[in-house]
Amino acid sequence: MSQSLRLGVAGLGTVGAAVVRMVARRAAALAAATGRDIRVVAVSSRDRTRDRGFDVAGLHWFDDPVEMARSAEVDCVVELIGGSEGPAKAVVEAALAAGKPVVTANKALLALHGAALAKSAETAGVALAYEAAVAGGIPVIKAIREGLAGNAVSRVYGIMNGTCNYILTRMEREGLTFEACLKDAQALGYAEADPTFDVEGFDTAHKLAILTSLAFGTSIDAEGVSVEGISGVKPLDLRMAEELGYRIKLLGVAQATEAGIEQRVHPTMVPKSSSIAQVMGVTNAVTIDADAVGELTLIGPGAGGEATASAVVADIADLAAGLSRPTFGCPTASLRPAERVEMQRHEGGYYIRLTVHNRPGVAAGVATRMAEREISLESILQRRTSEMAESDPKGRSGQPVPLVLITYAATEGNIRAALDAIAGDGLLAEAPQLIRIERE
């Protein structure tokens, strides 16, 4: 058997502790699979005394993770501190500068500094592995980078934030508001005290930026992602989606278009019969459309200590077995520059829920404005809610009513222009709701 691989683990939170336990628990299997003994020899964390389910006594404890990264007794650094700056960045940079491979679960670090770090890894001739950074325990990085090596990818999309999917699932199943479900998610520990990063789509955007670079061979560009969260989704939208044969999911979508690679995160209508529509609760899923394989979908846990550790340990095993692939699938010099595509140019189907004044000619007025922009309508649904029907059975109150449109493929620019014209005509009692449709 070759020399053993000695790991230094920086960050002993839920994931870090699970990694240390897993490496010990699976020691024999990992050695059999990779031909090398894999051992955690050093750790670094803020709190030495917490019970993490293993004894730190046999491990070299570093108060400073950067010092650990430079230590001669560590062959490979596992960064599980988190955050795009500060100690996480410092420890990864120190490890690569010392010529040591790095395994990280840090999506923010990769999304914001991935280009520079990939270059450092390349210069050092070592791997920078990040399976755990996207979709937790799902081996989606491996699937795209290695499993689909023979394919040209045309689209990658997925549910990559469990908090949002949990909230949308409960809103759909129980008819609750976003606010009520968010509170429950916080009580259950599925959402942070400040949930902005998750529910407004930024977490998904980081993960999407990583997938985009890998799938399309472009320079990572997290700031080029168009982002819209789920806080504006209403129970009525979920009911309408149900009726029209859709579910609403927060998707991250990267798609090759003539103008470049679209990167967008937004609440999305997906056909109820699609694989991704079945994904409920905190589960994640990623679908890859590619020329040879057609459609490939991976469904699994997007978070949790053990599931995330599973991805970290898979990366560690690959390193031990000598796997060497460029960080984003090809040498950094070969990565094409990211071309940002404005959302105005996005072309697709749209769900548009208008709240219109209940008077004659409104539907005709709306349809005319759509037609002027050459937007074809697949369905128009004008129906009062059951609450309205009860309070005003004859429809004489002039109370605003929802008017729902499903469009065939149209550009977002045309859709927005038509909505502006409709608003200018004084037909709307409220700002319109607009949810993009993603088809299989």
Catalytic center residues? 207
Is residue 24 within the footprint of a copy of itself (CB under 8 A)? no
Contacts of 287 (CB under 8 A, 6+ apart): 155, 156, 157, 158, 275, 276, 295, 296, 297, 298
Is residue 399 within the footprint of a copy of itself (CB under 8 A)? no
Instruction: List the interface residues with a copy of itself, window 32-61 (CB under 8 A).
Output: 32-35
Other beta carbons within 10 Å of 426: 9
Is residue 301 within the footprint of a copy of itself (CB under 8 A)? yes
Q: Are 156 and 144 contacting, i.e. CB atoms less than 8 angstroms apart? A: yes
Paired with 379 in beta bridges are 406
Q: Are 201 and 265 contacting, i.e. CB atoms less than 8 angstroms apart? A: yes
* Segment lying near a copy of itself (by CB under 8 A), choices 80-88, 249-257, 325-333, 362-370: 325-333
* Segment lying near a copy of itself (by CB under 8 A), choices 45-53, 93-101, 302-310, 340-348: 302-310
Is residue 135 within the footprint of a copy of itself (CB under 8 A)? no
**Which among 45, 72, 73, 79 is positioned nearest to 61, based on CA atoms?**
45
Q: In angstroms, give the least distance from the CB of 219 to a copy of itself.
A: 14
Is residue 212 within the footprint of a copy of itself (CB under 8 A)? no
> Of 260 and 302, which has the nearer Cβ to a copy of itself?
302
What is the longest distance spanned by two Cα atoms in the chain? 84
Dihedral angle, C-alpha 254, 255, 256, 259, nearest 10 °: -90
> Of 101 and 300, which has the nearer Cβ to a copy of itself?
300
> Of 157 and 197, which has the nearer Cβ to a copy of itself?
157
Provide the edge-to-edge strand list for the sheet that holds 128-129. Answer: 60-62, 38-44, 5-10, 76-79, 102-104, 128-129
Is residue 310 within the footprint of a copy of itself (CB under 8 A)? yes
**Which among 160, 205, 168 is positioned nearest to 185, based on CA atoms?**
168
Among 4, 183, 217, 367, binds a copy of itself (CB under 8 A): 217
> Of 253 and 299, which has the nearer Cβ to a copy of itself?
299
Among 232, 281, 322, 395, binds a copy of itself (CB under 8 A): 322
Q: In angstroms, give the least distance from the CB of 317 to a copy of itself.
A: 4
Helix (H, G, I), strand (E, B) or coil at 104: strand
Among 7, 317, 375, 410, binds a copy of itself (CB under 8 A): 317
Is residue 231 within the footprint of a copy of itself (CB under 8 A)? no
**Which among 289, 242, 295 is positioned nearest to 269, based on CA atoms?**
242
Given the rule CB under 8 A, which residues bind a copy of itself? 18, 22-23, 26, 29-30, 32-35, 131, 137-139, 142-143, 145-152, 217, 273, 275, 278-279, 290-301, 304, 306-307, 309-314, 317-318, 321-326, 329-331, 334
